[in-house]
Amino acid sequence: MSDLPLVLLERRDAVVWLRLNRPESRNALSLALVAALKEHLTHLAMDPSVWVVGIVGEGAKAFCAGADLKERKKMDDAQAQGAVDGLRALMNQVAAMPQPTVALLNGAAFGGGLELALACDFRLASETAVMGLTETKLAIIPGAGGCVRLPQAVGLAKAKELILLGSRVNAPEAFTMGLVTQVLSSTTLQGQADAFTEVLLQGGPLALRAAKRVLQSCSGLTEEEALEVEKHQSRSLLPSKDRVEALKAFYEKRTPQFRGE
């Protein structure tokens, strides 16, 4: 067993990467790993200096193989249900992060691993990555948001195909169906992911948070209600120093220097 933390935190300026650190178990989501992720996410959500949050797996084989089935095998029904509830709470916490979130699929992402990626705003995949919600092969269903979030990404018909058949897809297939945002070279994976987050950082951090808040909160609202949410978030940005800086930089023909204020 490694003495290293279950989650490694890597900071690159305003971007923080959370690295799942159980490579010997293909970064499977044990109870302890889930708890560690929740703790980090809680702190990051309250940190205004963090503009983007990324999640990646340690090692070259897997982003995350899903729930830790060896651990799950030792549980009774009540404990297993508690573990599933914990996974669902984790995915909901990821989805609710105020910052844009990026999953870097450096390898296999199955079951809860893909559900974790689906809870992120963007999914970048290595050209060698393979993924799927294969729970029906284990006589269960994706119970941590997969049945809800996969159709949002690929459409209902394709989601039925993937979930009911327990299909696995490679990165190019996933890109074609809209499951991943980009397919990256496995040899320069982290560098390309950093380049992607650099593009995100070109947007004002307050604006990124506000736009995400509107996009996520409008589901289920009437058009009138959704427009009210958008109006409120738009108005909240008017007094910001970043908005003034953006206008000044535009007229001075230079890159704006945002500070999240």
pLDDT tens digits, 111-168: 999 999 999 999 999 999 999 999 999 999 999 999 999 999 999 999 999 999 999 9
User: What is the C-alpha separation between 175 and 160, in angstroms, rounded?
Assistant: 17
Contacts for 241-245: CB closer than 8 Å, 24+ residues apart: 242/204, 242/205, 242/206, 242/207, 243/204
pLDDT the model gives residue 2: 57
pLDDT the model gives residue 217: 85
pLDDT the model gives residue 218: 82
Predicted TM-score (pTM) of this structure: 0.94
- Residue 7: pLDDT above 70? yes
Per DSSP, what are the bridge partners of residue 57? 20
Residue positions annotated with a catalytic role = 67, 112, 115, 135
Q: Using 50, 70 and 90 to split pLDDT, how confident is the model at 200?
A: very high
